[in-house]
Amino acid sequence: MNRTLITDALTVPAPGADLTVAGWVRTVRISKGGFCFIHLNDGSCFDSIQIVADKDLHNYETEILHLTAGTSIAASGKLVESPAKAQRVELHAAEVSLIGTCDGEQYPIQPKRHSFEFLRTQAHLRPRTNTFGAVARVRNAVSAAIHDFFQSRGFLYVHTPIITASDCEGAGTLFRVTTMDPAEPPRDDAGNVDFAQDFFGRPTYLTVSGQLDVEAYACALGNVYTFGPTFRAENSNTPRHLAEFWMVEPEMAFADLTANADLAEDFLKHVFTAVLDRCGRDMEFFNERIDETIIETLKGIIDSQFARISYTEAVDRLAQADRKWEYTVEWGNDLQTEHERYLTEEVFKVPVIITDYPAAIKPFYMRLSDDGKTVAAMDVLVPKVGEIIGGSQREERLDVLVQRMGQLALNPQDYWWYADLRRYGTVPHAGFGLGLERTVQFATGMANIRDVIPYPRTPRSAEF
RNA sequence: UCCCCGAUAGCUCAAUUGGUAGAGCGAGCGGCUGUUAACCGCUAGGUUCUAGGUUCGAGUCCUAGUCGGGGAGCCA
């Protein structure tokens, strides 16, 4: 079939062409007087095309009059200007052929408003709805923009492993990867499970981050990034967490925290610009139906200068705020959601980059500052979603790194190769991690992260 | 994991102090119309999440569980 994408059909400058479109029926309005209107969507764009089918078509009585939502059809005919206002062009069908029937009584997706909760139980069919089609296109645009941004700046795309043996980065609980029979695992003489007999000859897990691996490539190739799925076995039940999600992690050699923050700010602006440019119609929809401020918010961020304050300044501001905090504000305590939201939503009203956190509440790989109390860490906070980026300048001094591991009761043996990067030609370097789903969530205004990934994995939920 | 809230037709929701379970959408049939997730009429569609309990009587009250949602923690 030589089909024309509906997005192309709707945007041809001068109608008049004969063409064929194919897709899934959204609605059918029948005129017993002699024709019917079929709205057809093929996912190539937000809008459906209107097909006008006349009673003279050979299958008008037998098939066309019985079309229901969800049916797949192909239609050929002439594209003409529409006499009505709601659409610029429409297809006058010379032929409508039924491809796949769809029992209207059984089909779960109706031309009406469904709850997102219900649509989650129909994850295989929900991309046929306006909202989830739009989310899929925005997610694609964000992914492409991520690659555009880094590729255009000479960053090398590095594929870090999904299966990993490092098990203690402090980034959350891991999923174990094994081929052993859980009912009867091999055991050693002491009766303990013997992972030496497992597939890899040692315990292995799904990665929680590609950072440590990608650092090695930064310390050879300069500027790099990894972009792939990551896994956290945390029992987190919130609209902002998934057990499986995608993360982008750039890493720059010969770079400090300021360069890192600059990169993060440019990066977010680039991504949101691309979304507005490439998904205009989808974004109009989100602005109409999901969050009436979303386009304004994205434009505001693109034009804004991100606020940058140190953790110490943030604590001061929170302590002086005329407000009761549920969690005590005190230097040394981590900032809570209520604090982060206050800063980004009420004080600055733009994204905020908070830097220089206390060393005690951050992982071993972050660079210890000269004050001996803080590390060169940064979080980028955005309104509603909260933390969207976390990053740091890495500790490049071997002695300090080993000392920090000791303080956190980590075994340097487990990180021998990571330490090697400091042992052989060490350089200052920095990077960050950005959650893809949180970015899509923020860009679309979707309230629940489970609705911006095709098949969400959360505690007790892995259907599909 | 903790705290709150919820579960009624395929879907979205009503149902007064505990007293005969309703509507819209969707579906089928009919009418009408260059319509715009059209409109009008008729029809079909229910083990009120599960298991117990209180009561003459439970969708409604109590207990436990399951599932879902919101908030918190953990984080991206």
pLDDT by residue (tens digit) across A185-222? 999 999 999 999 999 999 899 999 999 999 999 999 99
Residue nearest to nucleotide B67 (CA to C1'): A460
pLDDT at A169 over 70: no
How many angstroms is C1' of B76 away from CA of A257?
19
The pLDDT confidence band at residue A168, using thresholds 50, 70 and 90, is low
- Distances in Å between the Cα of A237 and the Cα atoms of A64, A240, A444, A448, A457 are 46, 8, 21, 11, 11
Q: CA A290: distance to chain centroid?
A: 17
Q: Tokens 């302590």, residue?
A: A319
User: What was the pLDDT predicted at A103?
Assistant: 84
- Tell me the pLDDT band of A170, cut-offs 50, 70 and 90: low
Count CA atoms closer than 13 A to A305's CA, side-chain side. 2
Closest nucleotide to residue A385 (Cα to C1')?
B76
Contact A22, A73 (CB under 8 A): yes
Q: CA-CA distance, A289 to A131, in Å (whole number)?
A: 9
Amino acid A259: pLDDT: 97
One-letter amino acid for residue A448 of the chain: N
Q: Which nucleotide lies nearest residue A38, CA to C1'? A: B35
* pLDDT exceeds 70 at position A65: yes
Q: Nearest nt (C1') to A119 (CA)?
A: B11
Residue with CA nearest B1 C1'?
A235
List, for residues A66-110, the tens digit of each pLDDT value: 898 999 999 999 999 999 888 999 999 999 999 998 888 788 888
pLDDT tens across A415-442, in order? 999 999 999 999 999 999 999 999 999 9
Q: Which nucleotide is nearest to A249 (CA to C1')?
A: B76
Residue A451 Cα to chain centre, angstroms: 10
| Nucleotide B31, nearest residue via CA and C1' | A32
Dihedral angle, C-alpha A263, A266, A142, A363, nearest 10 °: 30
A233 CA to B1 C1' distance (Å): 13
Both tokens assigned to A251: 């890493």
Distance CA A115, CA A245 (A): 23
% of chain A residues with pLDDT over 90 = 75
What pLDDT score does A171 carry?
Answer: 53
Q: Please give the pLDDT value at position A413.
A: 87
**Token pair listed for A181:** 């029979």
Instruction: Name the nt closest to A29 by C-alpha to C1'.
Output: B35
- Pair of tokens at residue A451: 């609705």
pLDDT tens across A285-322, in order? 999 989 989 999 999 999 999 999 999 999 999 999 88
Report the distance from CA of residue A290 to the C1' of nucleotide B8 in Å, as an integer.
Answer: 28
Nearest to A262 by CA among A151, A116, A121, A391: A391
Q: How many other β-carbons are positioned within 10 Å of the β-carbon of residue A61?
A: 10
Q: Which residue's CA lies closest to nucleotide B28 at its C1' atom?
A: A105
Q: What ipTM was estimated for this complex?
A: 0.89
pLDDT tier, A172 (very low <50, low <70, confident <90, very high otherwise): low
Q: Residue A439: which nucleotide is closest by CA–C1'?
A: B76
Protein CA at A119 to nucleotide C1' at B23, angstroms: 23
- Predicted structure pTM score: 0.94
- List protein-proximal bases of chain B (any atom < 7 A from a CB): 1-2, 10-13, 24-28, 31-38, 67-76
Q: Are A352 and A307 in contact (CB under 8 A)?
A: yes
Which nucleotide is closest to A390, CA to C1'? Answer: B76
Q: Look at chain A and count its residues.
A: 464
Measured CA to C1', the nucleotide nearest A120 is: B68
* pLDDT value of position A104: 81
* Alpha-carbon separation of residue A276 from A57, A142, A282, A285, A410 (angstroms): 41, 10, 9, 12, 45
Closest nucleotide to A30's CA, by C1' atom? B35
The Å distance, CA of A235 to C1' of B1, is 7
List the A126 CA – B48 C1' distance (angstroms): 27
pLDDT confidence tier of residue A392, bands split at 50, 70 and 90: very high
Count the alpha carbons within 13 Å of A379 in the hemisphere toward its beta carbon: 21
| Å: A390 CA to B75 C1' | 10
Distance A117 CA to B58 C1' (A): 28
Q: What was the pLDDT predicted at A383?
A: 82
List the A324 CA – B54 C1' distance (angstroms). Answer: 45
Cβ-proximal residues to A309 (8 Å cutoff; 6+ apart), any chain: A317, A343, A352, A353, A354, A355
Q: Which residue is nearest to nucleotide B76 (CA to C1')?
A: A435
pLDDT band, residue A111 (cuts 50/70/90): confident
Whole-number distance in Å between A110 CA and B10 C1': 10
Nearest residue to nucleotide B11 when comparing alpha carbons to its C1'?
A: A114
Answer whether residue A134 shows pLDDT above 60.
yes
